[in-house]
Amino acid sequence: MVPYQRYRPLGTSAVKSGINTIPMVLALVISAILSGGIITATGRYVPWMFVSTILMSVGSGLTITFDKQTAAKAEENYVDFYDVHVAKFWKPRPDSGIQLIWEALQTLLSSKSREGPLTVVDMGTGTGRIIKSLFQNARAKGMKTLDAKSYGIDPGLVILQRAKETLEADQELVQIAPVEWVSTDALGLTTDSPEVKGVTDFMFFAGGGFNHLLSAGEQLGFLREVAKALRTDSPNATAMIVFLGESIPFDDGQDSEL
Q: Are residues 111 and 52 both part of a single domain?
A: no
Q: Is residue 162 a contact partner of residue 83, using CB atoms and an 8 Å limit?
A: yes
Residue 193 lies in a domain: yes
On whether residue 217 sits in a domain, the answer given is yes
> Is residue 225 in a domain?
yes
For residue 12, pLDDT beyond 80: no
Domain of residue 58 covers 14-66
106 and 154 share a domain? yes
Pairing of strands 149-154, 238-243: unpaired
Q: Are residues 61 and 101 in the same domain?
A: no
Residues 125 and 245 in one domain: yes
Domain shared by 165 and 111, yes or no = yes
Does residue 104 sit in the same domain as residue 55? no
Same domain, 37 and 110: no
Q: Are residue 248 and residue 171 in the same domain, yes or no? A: yes
Closest Cα partner for 100 from 211, 213, 249?
249
Instruction: Based on the fold, state whether residues 47 and 101 are members of the same structural domain.
Output: no
Task: Kindly state whether residues 149 and 222 are assigned to the same domain.
Answer: yes
Same domain, 219 and 158: yes
Residue 252: predicted pLDDT: 46
User: Does residue 151 contact residue 118 with C-beta atoms inside 8 Å?
Assistant: no
Mean pLDDT of 51-58: 78
- Residue 92 lies inside a defined structural domain of this protein: no
Nearest to 157 by CA among 191, 125, 205, 188: 125
Q: Could you report the per-residue pLDDT of 215-251, keeping only the tens digit for each?
A: 778 888 888 998 899 888 777 788 877 665 443 444 4
Gap between the Cα atoms of 39 and 43, Å rounded: 5
Beta-sheet strand order (sheet of 179-183): 179-183, 149-154, 119-123, 202-205, 238-243, 246-249
Distance of CA 53 to the CA centre of its chain: 38
**Does residue 8 lie in a domain region?**
no
Rounded mean pLDDT, 142-155? 81
Q: Which residues have C-beta within 8 Å of that of residue 154, sequence separation ≥ 6?
A: 124, 125, 126, 160, 163, 181, 183
Q: Is the same domain home to 114 and 42? A: no
Read off the pLDDT of each residue in 57-66 and give the average, rounded to a whole number.
Answer: 70
* Tally of domains within the chain: 2
Work out the average pLDDT over 209-214. Answer: 68
The kind and range of the H/E element at 182 are: strand 179-183
